Each structure stands twice: as structure tokens, then as C-alpha cells.
Structure 1
């Protein structure tokens, strides 16, 4: 494969096809493209950065090993989201304990220089992280995929193995629960 072929922006389908043929550079491009999003999803679902890093490494290793099982090269991103979400759900189910809030798990927002504003924003983030931990793992996954990662209801349904109606219900319940918990911050 000529170097010039990988210098331009390739779509997921093209890169996935190249990975299927053993092209490591194409896989590196896909990792660079999706590593941040998968880490953000896993760290918010698990509230544990180290565990999230482990999950993301496992997901990409699995993707490399099982790329031949991907039926539609254009569905690569959905496949990654599904693997990441399922691994996180498995971890959460195995814990069988509520996820403790970890303010370090969320990305730091841009804050103004006023200390009182920074304290308020940090308090809101801690409250949101704690509220997310009170949702069921399935609600949390659906809410994060919709609100943070901008996935459609149909995509989320494919990722979590539910129909779009069930996804809408989970998101609606998550929104209602989060709105109630976050009411003091309005």
C-alpha cells in the first residue's frame, strides 16, 4: 500500500477494508479516530479512568482480531460503540454495587477564573456524575450514547440490543431521574 494512499482522510469503510487485508497503518488511523470517543464513553459509564483505559485497549485488540467478522465495513464505528458499551455493561453488572462518583472521571470543563464559578461548576459535575451512577447501567449507556455521543435512537438500539422504542423509554426515564436530581442546580 503506497504511503500516499493513507495520507488523505479515508472513510471508515475504506480503512476497515484495508485493516481486513492486514494494513496496520489503516488500523492506526481508526484507533486515532475513535480512541477518544470510546474512552470518554467508558470513563463516564464506569467512573473509573484506569478501568476505562483497559476496556478501550481490549475493544481495539478485539477489533483487530475480529475485523473479519464485521459484515459491513461502513458500520465500523457502531461496532466499536457496541463492543465498548457491552464491555462496560458487563463490568457494571459484575460490580453489583452503585458506581461511586469520581469527579476525575469526567473531562474538566472550561472554567472562568472566578473561584466561586469554578466551585459551582465542579459541584454540578460531581452531582451529575453521582446522578449518572444512580441510573441503571442500561439507562446510563443509552443516555450517554444519545446526549454525549450524539447517536440516533436506532444506532443506540443496535449498540445495546434493544428496539428504538425501548431506547427512547430508557432515555426518557434517565432524563426524568437526572432532571429531578439536578433540580437544585437550575
Structure 2
């Protein structure tokens, strides 16, 4: 009988409408571990991708993201506005990555197994071209300053606003725009042969 109760409870949970982030944050702040687990499920992928692209190491990215979510859980009570959670998460992840980059120079090689290519493409020459383009882009990203890399990734990959990026890197929107412009120019120059 207990198996049927679990199934009914699971079915009920699955049919409940998805709660917004602010509601989940409020519940998590009140000690609801399941609410925080849902926030982790929603944002661990984007935070991992950001950390991986900034650090170039799967292991380092996993460590940073795990540490970020643990720190955020412990400090959830310090968050002034529930709706600011996502920005806080991006800012915390970005800062941890920048600290890790400062602590180690040069940037570690990117694991080629994690470089995404279109596996459905049966033409080996196309797969090799895509792989070469990705390698060129990753090499070009390594040449950017850590701040330029963070700003460019937050804007171009994660779609964050200039204001959100400025908050994440503790800078002005003017400085963020400048860093992104310089990063775009540098990347465009390096990627010119691939156009």
C-alpha cells in the first residue's frame, strides 16, 4: 500500500503547476529543502556552462558550481529580494570563476570531449571543421582578459542584460559595454578565417 501512496504523491507533485523563482526562494529561505532543490535543478545547467566556458575545465566548473549552490543555500537569508536570486547566482558564479582564474595562470586546456559538436553530422570533414572552429573560439576566449571573457559569456551565451552583468562583475554598465565591445572585436578578428 505504501507504494501506491508514493505513486499518488509523485503524480500529484508532477501535475502541480511550476512555481516561479521568487516563490521557491521564499520557501527555501523558510527551510523548504525541496524548493531549493528545484532552484538547483533549474539553474545548475546554466551555471555549469558559464563556469566551464570561463574556466575551461570540467572538474573546476563542477567544483565551482557545487560550491556556489552550497554557499547560496547557507546565505539565502541575506538575500534582500527574492526576485534577485538569479542575478545573485550569476554574480556569485562569475566571481568564483574570476577568483579561480586569478589564482591559476594560464587557463587550463579545455577537454576536447566536452566540446560540443553536431554528432548527427555524418560527414567527417564537416565534423572536423566544426571541431576546428570550436578550438579556435576557445583559444580566442583564452586570449581575452578574465573580465572580458566573463562579460562576453554573460551577454552572448547567457543573454544577461548589461545591468545584470555590471552587478555580476561589480562594475559600471559603461565598463561592461566597453569590455564586451573589445571582446567582440578581438573574437571577430580571430574568427575571420571561419566566416
Query: Could you tell me the TM-score, scaled by structure 2's length?
Result: 0.89
Identify unmatched segments of 5+ residues in structure 1: none
| Whole-Å separation in 2 of the counterparts to 1:126 and 1:142 | 20
Map of 2:79 onto structure 1: 70
Match 1:43 to one of 38, 52, 63? 52
CA contact under 8 A between 2:90 and 2:168: conserved in structure 1?
yes
CA contact under 8 A between 1:103 and 1:129: conserved in structure 2?
no
Map of 1:183 onto structure 2: 192
Root-mean-square deviation (CA), in Å? 1.8
Say if 2:161 is the partner of 1:152. Answer: yes
User: Alpha-carbon deviations, 1:60-116, whole Å to 9, x = none?
Assistant: 000110000111100111111001000000000111324434433433345521111
Map of 2:146 onto structure 1: 137
Bigger Rg, which one: 2
Query: Could you tell me the TM-score, scaled by structure 1's length?
Result: 0.93
Match 2:38 to one of 19, 29, 47? 29
| Whole-Å separation in 2 of the counterparts to 1:102 and 1:184 | 23
CA contact under 8 A between 1:13 and 1:76: conserved in structure 2?
yes
User: Alpha-carbon deviations, 1:11-57, whole Å to 9, x = none?
Assistant: 11110000100000000100000000000000000000011000000
CA contact under 8 A between 1:39 and 1:56: conserved in structure 2?
yes
| Whole-Å separation in 1 of the counterparts to 2:102 and 2:62 | 18
Identify unmatched segments of 5+ residues in structure 2: 1-8
Map of 1:17 onto structure 2: 26
Match 1:166 to one of 162, 172, 175? 175
What count of residue pairs does the alignment treat as equivalent? 185
